[in-house]
Amino acid sequence: MSFQDKSLQCSDCGREFTFSVEDQEFFQSKGYTNEPKRCPECRQARKSERYGNGGNSYGNGGYGYRSPRQMFPAVCAECGKETEVPFEPRGDRPVYCSDCYRKVRSSR
């Protein structure tokens, strides 16, 4: 199949953009059957809205960067060591450091 550059209109901003031969070949290689509805700038803006971090949502490296988890200070209910946990302790349930959590979890 022979492709030619196509001029398309962005459904978000209304500007015309080129759906290049290279992009068409890429879409075909991925099995995509629809042409893009948005220009590259609006596609990137939409990804940023959905995922934050410039549109990247997984891991790090080529496929993104996820901001670090918010950690909360806590005192281990088992050994008394100061630790941090990825949730806000409520006070009605015990919180464990990672070592004690492993011990408690394996004994269940």
What are residue 60's phi and psi, to 5 degrees? Answer: -150, 180
pLDDT value, residue 106: 84
Q: Which residue has the higher pLDDT, 5 or 108?
A: 5
Residues 6+ positions from 52 with CB-CB distance below 8 Å: 67
Q: Is the pTM of this model over 0.85?
A: no
User: 86-96, pLDDT tens digit by residue?
Assistant: 899 988 999 99
Strands 82-85 and 72-75 turn out to be: antiparallel
Res. 59 pLDDT band, cuts 50 70 90 = very low
| Distance in angstroms (rounded) separating the CA atoms of residues 58 and 50 | 13
